[in-house]
Amino acid sequence: MKTKLKAVTRKNSNPRALVAIPVQRAVPAKDRRLNFGDKWDYAPAPESVPVKIQPRYELFINGKFTAPTSGKYFESINPATEQKLSDIAAANAADVDVAVKSARRAYEKVWGKMSGRERGKYLYRIARIIQEKSRELAVLETMDGGKTIKESRDIDLPLVAAHFFYNAGWADKLKYAFPGRTPHPLGVAGQIIPWNFPLLMAAWKIAPALACGNTVVLKPAETTSITAMHLAQIFQEAGLPEGVVNIVTGAGETGTAIVNHPDINKIAFTGSTEVGKNIAKAIAGTGKKLTLELGGKAANIIFGDAPIDQAVEGIVSGIYFNQGHVCCAGSRLLVQEGVYSKVIKKLRDRIATLRVGNPLDKNTDIGAINSRMQLEKIRELVQSGVDEGAELVQPRCALPEKGYWYPPSFLTGVTASHRIAQEEIFGPVLSVMTFRTPEEAFERANNTPYGLSAGVWTDKGSKIFKMINKLRAGVVWANTFNKFDPTSPFGGYKESGFGREGGVQGLAAYCRLD
Ligand code: NAP
Ligand code: MG
């Protein structure tokens, strides 16, 4: 039951053409099964673990849940239904100040003095509670952020626990991590994270900071604060001493208050390049340590000798399975000319089978776009590609009436100067280009302001090594894509930021080494 693809080509002459693409049409509530014909569709398989969402989440400061001084709250919604889930406290500079003071107290009186062995015990305990609650946390992550339950249950949550376990193991062995050097904690770390991996980004930041003896003030993203507050409950349950981790929710201003607070020793930021640059300017000359994990525009490079079926599957999982909401998503595809038609045909067929819809359904491949704002950004950038002369390919795929959705898409005829070849799209949209020689492949791959990740698909080991040495990207995957492990450092070149998270390098970012 193959769905007929509708290739859509729109040229500059008709700026409204994209709006007319039939995929945007709504389907009746009773029939939201997508792509497949009625008879052969899977039965719905929604994740049934019950979760308790509080009507209101307060700030987590000094081990307690406290109301914001402004008395203000903002809504967190489910992007798949547009229904409100909860009210979230909006922290202002005064709340951030209380949080920093509590982190400083905890650092000086308890955590900074505690032996690594004892700190490790807390981290192990936190990791185990996360494992126990992982189904529930996965459902919350999916409801608040729109990502599929397959992703939150099978990728995010196991990695969240793994990062706490990994860093727990280092807590009493730091001197072995840095032979011949003596590591010291930095003090209070201010950490600001985005919405695409809410719990995982919190784990990437909190676990190494605590393992090294620092205390933390963390701000989750505005659209995905709920799981961070459940993580705070886990810290309470684990008996983590008061003030060791403080979580302040709010918008950009809350982040600015953290960045500008004079009593913070280290800022760790994951988010957009634009905000990252402003943070770097704001803390220049203050003596604060900084790591930035910013945007990306990864190239997935397919050579003619690659196993094409596996490569197509890797491309699909690298850009579509997570709505393209990954900084290291393979959002550019570079195909060697000889296999171009074959790859495009297979990709076309494969994306027609992807299922877009209820993220809580275990059969769903592509969930909801995180916010209306993000959806508009994706539409605008795709429109710019069409206006600049690229061809948009989307399967005929009906989308639910409510919520924020974008069908899996790719653009062909993209040139290096198009905005869709240069700017991060953060949506399920792939820009396809071709190359003839390996030299042309790495030149094209490197030709963006970013340098976070890349993928190489080939049967030849020698070609892999050649490409790895030439690609200016923090991570290069070979014959696979988007694979993560807490032992492996992650981070970017150029405008993708600096510093590494994960592995021993990730610990170094939270230590002063004598
Ligand atoms: P963003 O707008 O930069 O936001 C990131 C975080 O910073 C959010 O918590 C945000 O709060 C906060 N923030 C916003 N303005 C701020 C300011 N002026 N000062 C301090 N904090 C501020 O990015 P996003 O749209 O949430 O996330 C998507 C971006 O993150 C993409 O560019 C993606 O590539 C990048 N990313 C990178 C990595 C990596 O490891 N390299 C990983 C994941 C994501 P609000 O949510 O309230 O705006
Ligand atoms: Mg939400």
d(CA 216, CA 236): 15
Tell me, yes or no, whether 271 and 408 share the same domain. no
pLDDT of residue 42: 83
Expressed in angstroms and rounded, the spacing between residue 91 Cα and the centre of ligand 2 is 17
pLDDT in tens, 264-315: 999 999 999 999 999 999 999 999 999 999 999 999 999 999 999 999 999 9
Mean pLDDT for the stretch of residues 207-234: 98
Kindly state if the Cβ of 44 falls inside 6 Å of ligand 1.
no
Ligand 1 centre and the CA of 221: distance in Å? 7
The number of the ligand nearest the C-alpha atom of 219 reads 1
Q: What is the pLDDT of residue 40?
A: 67
* Number of structural domains found in the chain: 2
Which ligand is in closest contact with the Cα of 194? 1
The two structure tokens encoding residue 356: 């877009």
23 found inside a domain: no
Looking at the fold, whether 163 and 72 belong to one and the same domain comes out as: yes
Q: Are residues 104 and 245 in the same domain?
A: yes
Residues above pLDDT 90, as percent of the chain: 90
pTM for this predicted structure? 0.92
CA of 440 to the centre of ligand 1 (A): 33
236 plus 314 within the same structural domain: no
Q: Is residue 323 part of a domain?
A: yes
Q: Residues with Cβ < 8 Å from 502, sequence gap 6 or more?
A: 163, 204, 484, 485, 486, 487, 488, 489, 490
* pLDDT surpassing 60 at residue 85: yes
Asked if 458 and 379 sit in the same domain, the reply is: yes
**What mean pLDDT value characterizes the chain?**
92
pLDDT in tens, 225-255: 999 999 999 999 999 999 999 999 999 999 9
Reading the block at residue 79, the tokens are 């992007």
pLDDT in the model for residue 43:
87
The CA angle 289-293-295, to the nearest 5 degrees, is 145
Evaluate whether 410 touches 347 at the Cβ level (below 8 Å).
yes
DSSP 156: I
Q: For residues 166 and 488, is the Cβ–Cβ distance under 8 A?
A: no
pLDDT confidence of residue 397: 81
Amino acid at 157: L
CA–CA distances in Å: residue 141 to residues 229, 319, 404: 11, 19, 16
Residue 310 shares a structural domain with residue 225:
no
Is the CB of 495 within 6 Å of ligand 1?
Answer: no
- Residue 35 inside a domain? The answer is no
Contact between 484 and 162 under an 8 Å Cβ cutoff? The reply is no
What's the pLDDT band for 396 if we cut at 50, 70, 90?
confident
pLDDT category of residue 407 using cuts at 50, 70 and 90: very high
CATH at residue 80 = 3.40.605.10
What residues does the ion ligand 2 have nearby, CB within 5 Å?
76, 144, 223
Nearest-atom number in ligand 1 for the CA of 374 is 25
Residue 70 counted as domain residue: yes
401 and 274, same domain (yes or no): no
Q: Is 278 in the pocket of ligand 1 (CB under 6 A)?
A: yes
For atom 12 of ligand 1, which residue has the closest CA?
252
* Residue 252 domain boundaries: 56-294+496-513
* 91 and 236 co-located in one domain: yes
Tens of pLDDT, residue by residue over 350-388, are: 999 999 999 999 999 999 999 999 999 999 999 999 999
Residues 352 and 286 in one domain: no
Given pLDDT bands bounded at 50, 70 and 90, which one contains residue 1?
very low
Task: Look up the CATH number of the domain holding residue 459.
Answer: 3.40.309.10
Any ligand 1 atom below 6 A from CB of 426: yes
As a whole number of angstroms, the distance between CA 332 and CA 82 comes to 30
Residue 462 has pLDDT above 60, yes or no: yes
Q: Ligand 1: which residue has its CA nearest to atom 8?
A: 221
Q: Cβ-count burial of 73 within 10 angstroms (0-12 exposed, 13-18 middle, 19+ buried)?
A: middle
Cβ atoms 418, 431 nearer than 8 A = yes
In a domain, 491, yes or no: no
